[in-house]
Amino acid sequence: MEKIEINEKQRREDGAYVFHHPPKFLWEKEDLPLMKWTDFTLYVHVPFCREICTFCTFERKKLEKGALNKFMGSILKEIEITLAKWDFSESKPGALYLGGGTASLLSVSDLTILVNKLRSSFGLLKDAEITLECEPGTKQLSDFRQLKSIGINRVSIGFQAFQNELLRSLNRMHTIEESLKMFNSVKEAGIENIHIDLMFGLPGQTMEDWKFSIQEALKLAPKHFSLYTLIVFKNELLDRSLANGTMKQLPSTEVINEMREWAQIQLTENGYDQYSLTEYCKSGYQCRYVTSNWNGSDYLGFGPAAYSRNGSYLWENHVLHTLYHSSVKADELPYHKMFKMNSTDICKRDLAMGVCLLQIPLDPILTKVGEIDPLIKEHLAELENEGLISMNDRAITLNTASQRFATYIMKRIIGDN
Ligand SMILES: C[S@@+](CC[C@H](N)C(=O)[O-])C[C@H]1O[C@@H](n2cnc3c(N)ncnc32)[C@H](O)[C@@H]1O
Ligand code: SF4
């Protein structure tokens, strides 16, 4: 790290990566044009949870009676409206991600209806990756056997930590024993591509806790890991609980960096390749859905608060469930905001999101925008001088030591610093 000298204030290591560019306050309700879809991925947002975890600000609410039936009715209709609106004659999605919220709250029969509907509507490729995001305790061995038979070939399990006390303090609804039971059930059902989510930098979490979590998780030998640094969103529940002392304090920045770096070494030594800021996998098990979201590809989302992108267009579905349902009922695409990017926006977005993948191939961006905007080039040259990135004609690469400055790098690329 010695070569990197950045003003402490500038390089906020808050992990609050740039999730969207251009910023959401610039998006507006305007008509989306006719579009053709060819290579893209599919996403379904299931915006319900059994309880709300203290740290989480995803778009989700506590599950109420009847909500899943209503959700299923609207989502199937949303698929019909989408099919009628755009050209899918050459559509060949290579991945479907059932996420949330908690996608595993949908029953096996609802998941079957949904996956079959998406497959028959959009022609999922034969070898398409189909991921189900699961909260431990919400599905059993018999469920996974049936889910495998409908084509679910990747399961993501939200372990978060291997200490029941930590899980309880985060308002997680499961124990570590239930996480392990789910892992073993998925494996026994014959779904070999299992992904584990773990979090570090949690309130009250020690370096020893983190080491134990990583070591225990490695014993399970999943194909894929996501290691998330806890992001504390300003004024949200966790932020307020930390401020009023009802949650234990966060580990220091030094400890968080140590946690990240220690885990990186352990996973690498155990044969996992790090292919993004947060993702590690065995060879050949990169998540196609996640990768395509960050490499500037198109994606089509369904459900409240789902995002989509097609070329220069970005949009977000209604976040409020009432508006989502009423919009679908009125035969409208249920989005509430869109943004049409110009070539500078595309360049900034694809470069900034590309930072997540640690290496950004330049050809796909140049094909879209012709050449990199001179101002962005200047920012990139500055980042290179600061020792944070390396560049050649073909790619921009993040140095290992600069991963902790990813947010800063993204912000510099888009000129928001
Ligand atoms: C949609 S949730 C996972 C699925 C399921 N609802 C569960 O919790 O098991 C996706 C993942 O995001 C991560 N996550 C949620 N809030 C976060 C935050 N504030 N900071 C970092 N990671 C977070 C958690 O690891 C979580 O498993
Ligand atoms: S972490 Fe998962 S279960 Fe917890 S509130 Fe967020 S989406 Fe729901």
Q: Which ligand is nearest to the CA of 133?
A: 1
Ligand 1 centroid to 37 CA: how many Å?
30
The amino acid at 334: P
SS3 59: coil
| 140: pLDDT strictly greater than 80 | yes
| 2: pLDDT strictly greater than 90 | no
In this structure, the number of other CB atoms found within 10 A of the CB of residue 108 comes to 19
Contact 213, 162 (CB under 8 A): yes
Protein residues whose CB sits closer than 6 Å to any atom of ligand 1: 49, 55-56, 58, 99-100, 102, 133, 135, 158, 160, 197, 199, 228, 230-231
The whole-chain average pLDDT of the chain stands at 93
Q: DSSP letter at 250?
A: P
Two structure tokens written together for 198? 């773990």
Supply the pLDDT for residue 14. 53
Supply the pLDDT for residue 16. 63
Which atom of ligand 2 is closest in space to residue 173's alpha carbon? Answer: 3
Nearest CA to ligand 2 atom 7: 101
Nearest CA to ligand 2 atom 6: 56
Supply the pLDDT for residue 13. 46
Distances (CA, A) of 226 to 159, 219, 283: 10, 16, 15
Distances (CA, A) of 35 to 94, 110, 342, 368, 415: 19, 29, 17, 17, 30
pLDDT digits (tens, 9 = 90+) for 255-294: 998 999 999 999 999 999 999 999 999 999 999 999 999 9
Nearest CA to ligand 1 atom 16: 56
Q: DSSP letter at 77?
A: H
Handedness of CA 231, 210, 402, 372 (dihedral sign): negative
Supply the pLDDT for residue 10. 45
Q: DSSP letter at 272?
A: P
Ligand 2 centroid to 51 CA: how many Å?
7
Two structure tokens written together for 136? 């431990």
Ligand 1 centroid to 103 CA: how many Å?
12
pLDDT digits (tens, 9 = 90+) for 237-247: 888 888 898 99
Averaged pLDDT, 11-15? 47
pTM of the model: 0.94
Two structure tokens written together for 362? 């330049």
SS3 232: coil
Ligand 2 centroid to 163 CA: how many Å?
17
Q: DSSP letter at 285?
A: -
In terms of Cα–Cα distance, which of 195, 202, 191 is closest to 169? 202
In this structure, the number of other CB atoms found within 10 A of the CB of residue 190 comes to 11
pLDDT digits (tens, 9 = 90+) for 192-219: 999 999 999 999 999 999 999 999 999 9
Distances (CA, A) of 86 to 33, 109, 280, 310, 333: 9, 28, 36, 11, 11
Handedness of CA 263, 134, 147, 329 (dihedral sign): negative
Averaged pLDDT, 350-376? 93
Ligand 2 centroid to 366 CA: how many Å?
38
Ligand 1 centroid to 233 CA: how many Å?
13
Which atom of ligand 1 is closest in space to residue 157's alpha carbon? Answer: 9
Averaged pLDDT, 398-404? 85
Residue in 13, 56, 289 to alter for ligand 1 test, most ligand atoms within 8 A of Cβ: 56
Ligand 2 centroid to 47 CA: how many Å?
9
| 98: pLDDT strictly greater than 90 | yes
| Percent helix, strand and coil across the chain, each to the nearest 5 | 40, 20, 40
Quote the percentage of the chain above a pLDDT of 90. Answer: 83
In this structure, the number of other CB atoms found within 10 A of the CB of residue 408 comes to 21
- 154 membership: H or E segment, kind and range: strand 154-160
| 223: pLDDT strictly greater than 90 | yes
Q: Which residues contact 341 (CB under 8 A, 6 or more apart)?
A: 22, 312, 313, 314, 349
Ligand 1 centroid to 6 CA: how many Å?
30
| 17: pLDDT strictly greater than 90 | no
Could you give the domains of the chain? 36-293 (3.20.20.70), 342-417 (1.10.10.920)
Q: Which ligand is nearest to the CA of 54?
A: 2
Ligand 1 centroid to 393 CA: how many Å?
36
Supply the pLDDT for residue 8. 40
Averaged pLDDT, 158-163? 98
Two structure tokens written together for 127? 């070898």
Which atom of ligand 2 is closest in space to residue 172's alpha carbon? Answer: 4
Residue in 49, 183, 197, 230 to alter for ligand 1 test, most ligand atoms within 8 A of Cβ: 197
User: What's the CA gap between 175 and 254, in Å, rounded?
Assistant: 29
The amino acid at 214: I
User: What's the CA gap between 321 and 59, in Å, rounded?
Assistant: 10
User: What's the CA gap between 15 and 277, in Å, rounded?
Assistant: 10
Supply the pLDDT for residue 237. 85
Q: Which ligand is nearest to the CA of 45?
A: 1
Two structure tokens written together for 92? 């060949």
Protein residues whose CB sits closer than 6 Å to any atom of ligand 2: 49, 52-53, 56, 58, 60, 100-102, 135, 158
